[in-house]
Structure 1
């Protein structure tokens, strides 16, 4: 429990890079609950695009979507997407449900520098949890 709420919002910004498999977010775009087929916090156009790519009975295990349309660039676009209902994971969208985390999402969406500074501090804090051995350039390979 070394990480604060501030750290978790900053670290979630790592979702600006990468790819999410369909199985990780299918519950938001198909059969969300008894009242809604689609998670109502999703932007309707975004949800429709996801549904078109990730069909209900999709069996391709590699099907999915980029976490951010500019997923090759580490920037604050993820936070902007959260504000517009265009995040893939419900845990990302849930950040808008609490005043403190919503304020942080707004702050990072408004300032790339503020996000980078917070992320740098939080990733260093995260690395110290297990002895601070290294921050990997590629998660699959030891530096």
Structure 2
């Protein structure tokens, strides 16, 4: 574990003044604007916000287990594009196309109705106080915890963007499920996340589902060979081809972790060891010298994975937040406030 990473683990347990002093040396070279975020940001203005968020998330997961992964993914897709600013939630307008229309998001990210329910519940107790960006961060933590995963100290105080990123910017920022590992590591590095973060956050795929369109090229014409990806376990390949036949429904779904689909555990990494990673970007973790040792370590120790994942979620949540007087506190997460 690197020196700077050790410091980021310490800061969540220190008083705010020490937090600022510890983080100052790192703020010059990374994109983690941590200093103005605090776990106690709403301590007086909305002290029950985490409880309110968890209550709505719990009901949503009880109604549909997949929602845990969907809410986690919304936070990820928000943070990777211009930082954790709630911009992924904005609807298209007559003049501006939102991030939802970008290829990595279109017909893919979901859970917006649950975010709306959370926002309504929060507004009922703390009007015009809690940002949509912070709601995404809290919902991600609640989602993971409620399906058996770790909890982490959620830093708060983000504000909401008043405009979305462009489709080009979204596509350039988000990792692609068919990318090789150097490309994926590069996408993470572009937002200040390291290799440990890359491998740990990939473990979020221990829950959730993926559409055939995201992995079908591995099944029939891998890298233009006219044949399947030779690294896929043969029995797993046959099962995937049955779900995703050539010319079939591109939106048919497969679990990212076929062993414990709705439980947050190390099943994802265990599957990689036997060549049963669903996405190319998943299986690539085992073939790259920078990532393979970490993937193996997480497969062998759930506590090691949970500790790493929790820290990496804190790191991701700190990507370029809007704070202070920047942005706004959106009253409706789908639209910017009226002037």
Settle same-fold status: TM greater than 0.5. yes
Query: For the residues of structure 1 that align with 2:316 and 2:232, how far apart are their CA atoms?
Result: 30
Shift of 1:72: 0.7
Please point out which of 319, 330, 339 is paired with 1:129: 319
2:256 counterpart residue number: 67
Q: Which runs of 4+ in 1 moved over 6 A?
A: none
Cα distance, 1:5–1:56 mapped onto 2, change above 3 Å: same
CA distance in 1, matches of 2:254, 2:283: 16
From 220, 234, 243, give the equivalent of 1:30.
220
Q: 2-side partners of 1:33 and 1:90: how far apart?
A: 11
| TM-score, normalised via structure 2 length | 0.37
Counterpart of 1:104 in structure 2 is: 294
Unpaired runs of 5+ residues, structure 2, are 1-189, 324-332, 334-339
Q: TM-score by structure 1 length?
A: 0.86
Q: Distance in 2 between matches of 1:132 and 1:3?
A: 18
State the shift of 1:132 in Å: 8.5
Q: Deviations over 1:86-122 (max 9, x none)?
A: 1111111111222231100100000000000000000
**In 2: Cα distance, 1:86 partner to 1:104 partner:** 17
CA spacing shift, 1:4–1:43, aligned 2, 3 Å? same
Aligned length: 133
Root-mean-square deviation (CA), in Å?
1.8
Matches within 5 A, 1:33-72: 33-35=223-225, 37-58=227-248, 60-69=249-258, 70-72=260-262
Asked if 1:10 corresponds to 2:200, the answer is yes
